[in-house]
């Protein structure tokens, strides 16, 4: 059982404040889609609107081709995993898992079979008679997922499910949720503010900011071809470096940086106009040291053994991060010259923030 | 048991008792005395005969004068010990008393009548419980009927009150609707209206509905209390909305959410309210006094009141019945008191 999800100009307003400003999105069935964005971008609200727990102020939501605007949450065939797990504290794990099945009048034997199956799959069969307060964070998370899985929904919704776990457990659970998706093949929507989670789990990522969809696409598309400054800065860790400058009045391929240096841009690939104010973006791992034009004053160096990060500043004050594989000899206080291969630079219109890529 | 003993004999530590230990125990003992002495006095008095109750100065323990059956007399005769005069040291039975003189006989020699001054004798008394005070309640007065009336009113009123109040509190804490605050303020606002103000209108309504002189006339008007709604609402606010959302995603109906999720999770607050409701209903006097006028509908409190006549009060029965009336509420308290502290502590939010 699978279903595609279609959002058409979906809006949400609380009083006069519009928090979701018209989102169009189409999630094919069986996809693992991640909504990512900084806190307050409306990603959780959007998820709750899809679930039916929050009503929508405008537009249409269709699940499996059927518009569900007027259908209550219970009848949309979805299951949701909440950030706080939201397990029923007074029920045992077994009762937590079977509550949903009881509500749709599943026969007792069937409930026992399904609960047993799901418990084995999630390795919580030893915990069935415990109460949520006697479980660890990771175990509660599994129970919460189990409660969603046991009802065999068309679509799974995850609302920041891993944010209450410690770092190590988070990596494990990430892998398990991805494995769950491969095994069940259901459509899943996953909300997170962590771009690493988004990159590692998603088939498609929707980057949201201030209630607007900034970009929707496959993780590597977003990484390689960010549509605007926000996505460029949000996706990828450490952040992309930005240096502002102005295109030469005569020669379109000459870029005068605010630091005073001049760079030559590739002939093709960008649609910059002469005299336009632009922002140059280079990922830390694409920075090359020693062969570039941009002078960077080193402020600190992180040696991780297998790789190193150099943090510095251009003469105009823009922060620069350089990633270099292996160990580095660069010391604090030195001035280094950095650059980037032609194919690895990004160019954005400084005023609109949009990418100037023209292919 | 050892833990209880350890708790009761806890000290500040150290080999000798610190002066703070003395002070605390003195304070606690005073408290225990102030709290328990009246109750213990009541229990002791309830076992005294009417004559013993009238005695001045009063004794702590119930005493009864010893009597003896003497041949040739139909009634048992009271026994006295002689403290002076001719017969000092003997134990005699009194036939009758005339002024300052009394006619006595020696039980061993019933034929001879002896004349003694009343200042030369003291009654022979022994510690005896006048259990007839209690047995009479069941025979002469219809204690069980009153007990049943009180129990029925208390149990029904508490159940109805818990149900309606928790439903109201659920709506007021977990649903968003226009006018929610107004409704809440109205509910709380009724706290400011004293019961005596609405007594007459309430009476008219109850009479109009045909509930006058019926137990339901006592149960229904007390079913909704603003205190209960407010207490439960404050507690329910602390139940996370996500749990309700999860239940909705689990296809639970709103009734099911109330019954399977909200009620069990509010158990501590409900326990507190249940205790309060039981105490209110059980001890309620004014309203039942107005609504129930026929004695077969009397609650225990009304029955107690009827012992207190204008000219004469049947103290021994009154005291015995008071003890029996206190018992159930004391039981409720003993078993449920731990919920009061936890319940009230957690209704304050976190």
Is A329 a domain residue?
A: yes
- The structural domain count of chain A equals 2
B200 in reach of chain A (CB within 8 A):
no
pTM score, whole prediction: 0.80
Which SS3 state, helix, strand or coil, does residue B149 take? helix
> Does ipTM exceed 0.85?
no
Task: Calculate the average pLDDT of chain B.
Answer: 87
Number of CB atoms found within 10 A of residue B271's CB: 17
Reported as a pLDDT band with limits 50, 70 and 90, residue B348 is very low
Q: What's the CA gap between A340 and B251, in Å, rounded?
A: 56
**A220 and A155 assigned to the same domain:** yes
Q: Give the Cα-Cα-Cα angle A201, A204, A208 (nearest 5 degrees).
A: 100
Nearest C-alpha neighbor of A196 from the set A306, A324, A36: A36
- Beta-carbon separation of B246 and A74 below 8 A: no
Give the pLDDT of residue B80: 87
B260 in reach of chain A (CB within 8 A):
yes
Give the pLDDT of residue B157: 94
Residue A11 sits in which domain range?
5-227
Q: Please name the residue that has the structure tokens 């039916």.
A: A52
Peptide bond into A238 cis (omega under 30): yes
Residues of B in contact with A158 (CB under 8 A): none
- Partner residue facing A88 (CB), from B248, B251, B261: B261
**A62 and A187 assigned to the same domain:** yes
Give the pLDDT of residue B349: 37
Give the pLDDT of residue B64: 84
Residue A83 near residue B242, CB atoms below 8 Å: yes
Regarding predicted confidence, which is higher, B153 or B337?
B153
**A177 and A270 assigned to the same domain:** no
Q: What is the mean pLDDT of residues A224-230?
A: 93
Give the pLDDT of residue B345: 59
**A242 and A221 assigned to the same domain:** no
A332 in reach of chain B (CB within 8 A):
no
Task: Enter the DSSP assignment of A273.
Answer: P
**A271 and A207 assigned to the same domain:** no
Peptide bond into B57 cis (omega under 30): yes
Tell me the two tokens of residue B1: 């048991």
In CATH, the number for domain B134-347 is 1.10.3720.10
What are the tens digits of pLDDT across the range A72-122? 988 898 999 999 889 999 999 999 999 999 999 999 999 999 999 999 988
- Is the pLDDT at A1 greater than 70? The verdict is no
Report the length, in residues, of chain B.
350
Give the pLDDT of residue A271: 86
Of A25-29, A157-161, A257-261, which gets the smallest average pLDDT?
A: A257-261
**A223 and A320 assigned to the same domain:** no
Residue B133 near residue B319, CB atoms below 8 Å: yes
What is each CA distance from A296 to A261, A277, A287, A315, A317, in whole angstroms? 11, 22, 12, 7, 9
Residue of chain B whose Cα is closest to the Cα of A99: B250
B247 in reach of chain A (CB within 8 A):
yes
What are the tens digits of pLDDT across the range B58-105? 888 888 888 888 887 888 888 888 888 788 888 888 888 888 888 888
Reported as a pLDDT band with limits 50, 70 and 90, residue B315 is confident
CA distance A338 to chain B (A): 50
Residue where one domain finishes, among candidates A161, A196, A227: A227
**A251 and A103 assigned to the same domain:** no
Residues of A in contact with B252 (CB under 8 A): 74, 99-100, 103
Q: What's the CA gap between A143 and A161, in Å, rounded?
A: 12
Is A233 a domain residue?
A: no
CA distance B54 to chain A (A): 58
Residue B91 near residue B116, CB atoms below 8 Å: no
Give the pLDDT of residue B9: 78
Residue of chain A whose Cα is closest to the Cα of B252: A103
Give the pLDDT of residue A278: 92
- Partner residue facing A103 (CB), from B243, B256, B267: B256
- Beta-carbon separation of A103 and B264 below 8 A: no
CA distance B241 to chain A (A): 9
Give the pLDDT of residue A100: 92
What are the tens digits of pLDDT across the range A178-207? 999 999 899 999 999 998 999 999 999 999
Highest mean pLDDT among A85-89, A150-154, B166-170: B166-170
Q: Where in chain B is the domain with CATH 1.10.3720.10?
A: 134-347
Q: What's the CA gap between A226 and A134, in Å, rounded?
A: 45
A279 phi/psi in degrees, rounded to 5: -120, 130
- Beta-carbon separation of B265 and A90 below 8 A: yes
Residues of B in contact with A53 (CB under 8 A): 245, 248-249
CA distance B244 to chain A (A): 8
Nearest C-alpha neighbor of A47 from the set A221, A266, A193: A193
Residues of A in contact with B248 (CB under 8 A): 53, 72-74
A77 in reach of chain B (CB within 8 A):
no
A89 in reach of chain B (CB within 8 A):
yes
Interface of A with B in 255-274 (CB under 8 A): none
Residue A79 near residue A157, CB atoms below 8 Å: yes
Tell me the two tokens of residue B80: 């006295």
Residues of B in contact with A103 (CB under 8 A): 250-253, 256
CA distance A206 to chain B (A): 24
Residues of B in contact with A86 (CB under 8 A): 240, 242-243, 245-246
Q: Give DSSP secondary structure letters for A182-243.
A: HHH--EEEEEES-HHHHHHH-SEEEEEETTEEEEEE-HHHHHHS-SBHHHHHHSSSSPPEEE
Q: Which residues contact A216 (CB under 8 A, 6 or more apart)?
A: A25, A204, A205, A206, A207
- Is the pLDDT at B250 greater than 80? The verdict is yes
Residue of chain A whose Cα is closest to the Cα of B247: A100
According to DSSP, the β-strands at A277-282 and A345-349 are: antiparallel
Reported as a pLDDT band with limits 50, 70 and 90, residue B333 is confident
Nearest C-alpha neighbor of A75 from the set B261, B248, B242, B244: B248
Number of CB atoms found within 10 A of residue A199's CB: 18
B259 in reach of chain A (CB within 8 A):
no
Interface of A with B in 183-222 (CB under 8 A): none
Q: Residue B210: how many CA atoms within 13 Å on its side-chain side? A: 0
Of A129-133, B258-262, B345-349, which gets the smallest average pLDDT?
A: B345-349
Residues of B in contact with A48 (CB under 8 A): 245
Reported as a pLDDT band with limits 50, 70 and 90, residue B343 is low
Reported as a pLDDT band with limits 50, 70 and 90, residue A5 is very high
CA distance A18 to chain B (A): 19
- Is the pLDDT at B350 greater than 50? The verdict is no
Reported as a pLDDT band with limits 50, 70 and 90, residue A252 is confident
Q: Residue A108: how many CA atoms within 13 Å on its side-chain side? A: 0
Q: What is the CATH number of the domain that holds A310?
A: 2.40.50.140
Q: What's the CA gap between B308 and A206, in Å, rounded?
A: 82
What are the tens digits of pLDDT across the range B224-245? 889 999 999 999 999 999 999 9
Q: Give the Cα-Cα-Cα angle A43, A47, A52 (nearest 5 degrees).
A: 145
CA distance B184 to chain A (A): 22
Give the pLDDT of residue B346: 55
Q: Give the Cα-Cα-Cα angle A187, A144, A46 (nearest 5 degrees).
A: 50
Mutual orientation of helices A108-121 and A93-103 as an angle, nearest 10°?
130
% of chain B exceeding 90 in pLDDT: 41
**A143 and A12 assigned to the same domain:** yes
**A197 and A315 assigned to the same domain:** no
Of A10-14, A19-23, B2-6, B255-259, which gets the smallest average pLDDT?
A: B2-6
Q: Is A250 left (phi over 0), alpha (psi -120 to 50) or beta?
A: alpha
- Is the pLDDT at B219 greater than 50? The verdict is yes
Residue of chain A whose Cα is closest to the Cα of B255: A103
Rg (CA), chain B: 30
CA distance B327 to chain A (A): 33
B245 in reach of chain A (CB within 8 A):
yes
Which SS3 state, helix, strand or coil, does residue A133 take? helix
What is each CA distance from B132 to A37, B50, B129, in whole angstroms? 82, 11, 9
Find how far residue B49's CA is from the centre of its chain: 22
A78 in reach of chain B (CB within 8 A):
yes
Is A190 a domain residue?
A: yes
- Beta-carbon separation of B242 and A82 below 8 A: yes
Is A357 a domain residue?
A: no
CA distance B243 to chain A (A): 5
Q: Please name the residue that has the structure tokens 């007027």.
A: A70
- Beta-carbon separation of A151 and B264 below 8 A: no
Nearest C-alpha neighbor of A76 from the set A58, A57, A54: A54
% of chain A exceeding 90 in pLDDT: 61
Four-way CATH pick for B64-127: 2.30.30, 3.90.550, 1.10.3470, 2.60.40: 2.30.30
- Beta-carbon separation of B249 and A90 below 8 A: no
**A219 and A257 assigned to the same domain:** no
- Partner residue facing A100 (CB), from B251, B265, B267: B251
Q: Where in chain B is the domain with CATH 2.30.30?
A: 64-127
Q: Give DSSP secondary structure letters for B324-350.
A: HHHHHHHHHHHHHHHHHHHHHHHHT--
């Amino acid at each position: 059982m699978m279903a595609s999800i279609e959002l058409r100009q979906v809006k949400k307003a609380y009083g006069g404040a519009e928090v979701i400003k018209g989102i169009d999105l189409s999630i094919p069935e069986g996809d693992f889609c991640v909504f990512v964005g900084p806190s307050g971008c409306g990603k959780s609200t959007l998820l709750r609107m899809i679930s039916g727990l929050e009503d929508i102020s405008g537009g249409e939501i269709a699940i499996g081709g059927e518009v569900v605007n007027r259908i209550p949450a219970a009848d949309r065939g979805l299951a949701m995993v909440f950030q706080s797990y939201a397990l029923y504290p007074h029920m045992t794990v077994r009762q937590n898992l079977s509550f949903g099945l009881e509500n749709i009048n599943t026969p007792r034997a069937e409930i026992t079979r399904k609960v047993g199956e799901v418990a084995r799959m999630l390795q919580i069969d030893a915990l069935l008679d415990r109460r949520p307060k006697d479980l660890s964070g990771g175990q509660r998370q599994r129970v919460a997922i189990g409660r969603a899985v046991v009802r065999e929904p068309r679509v799974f919704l995850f609302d920041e499910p891993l944010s209450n776990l410690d770092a190590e457990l988070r990596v494990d659970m990430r892998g398990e949720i991805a494995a769950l998706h491969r095994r069940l093949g259901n459509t899943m929507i996953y909300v997170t503010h962590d771009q690493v989670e988004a990159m590692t789990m998603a088939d498609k990522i929707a980057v949201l900011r201030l209630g607007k969809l900034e970009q929707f696409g496959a993780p590597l598309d977003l990484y390689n071809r960010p549509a605007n400054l926000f996505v460029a800065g949000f996706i990828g860790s450490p952040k992309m470096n930005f240096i502002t400058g102005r295109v030469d009045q005569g020669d379109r391929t000459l870029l005068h940086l605010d630091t005073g240096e001049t760079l030559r841009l590739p002939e093709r690939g960008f649609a910059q106009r002469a005299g336009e104010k632009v922002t140059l973006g280079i990922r830390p791992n694409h920075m090359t040291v020693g062969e570039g034009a941009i002078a960077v004053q080193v402020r600190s160096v992180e040696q991780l053994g297998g790789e190193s990060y150099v943090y510095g500043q251009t003469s105009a004050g823009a922060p620069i991060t350089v990633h270099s594989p292996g160990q580095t000899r660069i010391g604090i206080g030195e001035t280094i010259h950095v650059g980037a291969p032609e194919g690895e630079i990004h160019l954005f219109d400084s005023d609109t923030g949009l990418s100037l890529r023209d292919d | 048991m050892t833990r209880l003993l350890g708790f009761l004999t806890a000290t500040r530590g150290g080999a000798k008792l610190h002066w703070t230990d003395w002070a605390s125990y003195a304070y606690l003992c005073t408290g225990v005395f102030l709290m328990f002495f009246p109750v213990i006095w009541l229990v002791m008095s309830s076992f005294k005969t009417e004559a013993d109750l009238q005695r001045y100065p009063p004794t702590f323990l119930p005493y009864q004068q010893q009597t003896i059956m003497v041949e040739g007399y139909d009634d048992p005769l009271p026994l006295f010990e002689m403290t002076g005069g001719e017969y000092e040291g003997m134990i005699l039975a009194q036939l009758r008393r005339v002024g300052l003189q009394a006619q006595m006989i020696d039980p061993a020699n019933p034929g001879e009548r002896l004349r003694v001054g009343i200042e030369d004798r003291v009654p022979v008394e022994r510690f005896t419980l006048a259990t007839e005070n209690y047995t009479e309640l069941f025979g002469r007065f219809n204690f069980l009927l009153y007990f049943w009336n009180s129990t029925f009113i208390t149990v029904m009123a508490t159940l109805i009150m818990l149900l309606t109040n928790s439903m109201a509190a659920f709506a007021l804490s977990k649903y968003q609707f226009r006018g929610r605050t107004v409704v809440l303020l109205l509910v709380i606002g009724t706290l400011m209206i004293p019961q005596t103000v609405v007594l007459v209108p309430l009476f008219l309504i109850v009479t109009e509905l045909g509930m006058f002189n019926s137990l339901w006339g006592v149960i229904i008007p007390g079913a909704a209390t603003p205190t209960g709604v407010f207490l439960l609402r404050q507690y329910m606010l602390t139940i996370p909305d996500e749990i309700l959302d999860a239940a909705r995603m689990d296809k639970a109906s709103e009734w099911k959410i109330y019954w399977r999720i909200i009620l069990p999770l509010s158990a501590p607050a409900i326990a507190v309210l249940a205790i309060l409701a039981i105490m209110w209903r059980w001890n309620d006097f004014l309203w039942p006094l107005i609504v129930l006028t026929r004695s077969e509908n009397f609650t225990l409190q009304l029955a107690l009141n009827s012992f207190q006549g204008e000219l004469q009060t049947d103290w021994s029965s009154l005291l015995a019945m008071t003890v029996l009336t206190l018992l159930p509420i004391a039981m409720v308290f003993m078993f449920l008191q731990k919920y009061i502290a936890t319940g009230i502590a957690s209704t304050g939010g976190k």
